Amino acid sequence: MPTIVPIAPFDYETCCSAIDGLRHKYPFLTCRVIGRSHVGRAIFALSVGQAQGPVLLAAGFHGTEWITTIVLLRFLERVCESLQSRAELCHIQIAGALEGRALLAVPCVNPDGIQIALHGAEAAGVYRAFVSRLSGDMCGNWNANARGVDINHNFGAGWQTLRQLEQEAGITGPAPGRYGGPSPESEPETKALTRLTRLRQPRHVLAIHSQGEEIFWQYGGHVPEGTEKLARIFAAASGYELVKNEGLASHGGFKDWFIEKTGRPGFTVEFGKGKNPLPLEAFPDMYSKLEYLLALAAIL
């Protein structure tokens, strides 16, 4: 079983340590910095295989959802372990299935937000006073980045419609969550992910969030070819429910942007059930339900 990626509160230092451990044990795992947050924290992309058109998995969009970074790094460790030992993962011969293909992972899109949610306003650097004021010194529910922008509202898909919905909900400026920013892709975290996506041209993407045990697979009237088939396979593999976006979750997300801009399948997977942040003691059972979905996503 994996030992490098701990089941622990997953702050930036823990993430960096886990990535260093994986790179040391699995030299074929490549890592590069694709951008930096407002506070200067690195945003990493890890990959196995060099083929164009990889599958892209991304996590850690929201501060209270730091458990999703554990999910993605734990899965990547399991993949690397299977590649090195030529063993099966979820009854799949991963080495053969990934031959001529690539898997690309961005485990922590919003490192500042996660650091703030775990350690409070002090983790916001030069934005410390700003974050303290917005949160009322109660940072445990912080989901935005250090500038008070919700990264998963900052992608350019139906952004003007989302802005109107936010204003109707009383969200008119920086906040602990749900504010889409001054313009689409205004944030360095968003730009890092869209730049990587444009460069590598994934054949499909999964954005891992928590919680709900749900799979979102459409955006507006956009249903790329093959999407419904993949969605049903993922639902059958995990027991998760297929659902449609509603309200403030209807626009501005990464999978929304990917579907609209590329015409290829994109999915948001809501890991686990409960209240964010999800309890670590439930992680093994929650993860076991999702691993087969992730393995299929990586090879299909």
Span 14-34, pLDDT tens digits: 999 999 999 999 999 999 999
Domains of the chain and CATH, by start: 12-299 (3.40.630.10)
Given a contact cutoff of 8 angstroms between Cβ atoms, the answer to whether 286 and 226 are in contact is no
Q: Is 294 exposed, middle or buried (0-12, 13-18, 19+ CB in 10 A)?
A: buried
User: Region 257-276: what's the mean pLDDT?
Assistant: 96
Given a contact cutoff of 8 angstroms between Cβ atoms, the answer to whether 139 and 117 are in contact is yes
- Is there a catalytic annotation at residue 228? no
The pLDDT value given to residue 250: 75
Order of strands, sheet of 214-216, starting from the edge strand that comes earlier in the sequence: 30-36, 42-48, 103-106, 55-58, 204-209, 266-270, 214-216, 241-243
pLDDT tens digit string along 74-90? Answer: 999 999 999 999 999 99
**pLDDT class of 51 with cuts at 50, 70, 90:** confident
In what helix (H) or strand (E) does residue 207 lie, and over which residues does it extend? strand 204-209
Percentage above 90 pLDDT, the chain: 90
Q: Reply yes or no: is the peptide bond before residue 202 cis, omega within 30 of 0.
A: no
User: Region 257-279: what's the mean pLDDT?
Assistant: 96
The pLDDT value given to residue 2: 57
Cα–Cα distances (Å) from 219 to 69, 90, 162, 177, in that order, read 24, 30, 13, 21
> Per the confidence metrics, is the pTM higher than 0.95?
yes
**pLDDT class of 1 with cuts at 50, 70, 90:** low
Which of 81, 187, 270, 281 is an active site residue? 270
**pLDDT class of 247 with cuts at 50, 70, 90:** low
User: Region 121-126: what's the mean pLDDT?
Assistant: 96
In what helix (H) or strand (E) does residue 208 lie, and over which residues does it extend? strand 204-209
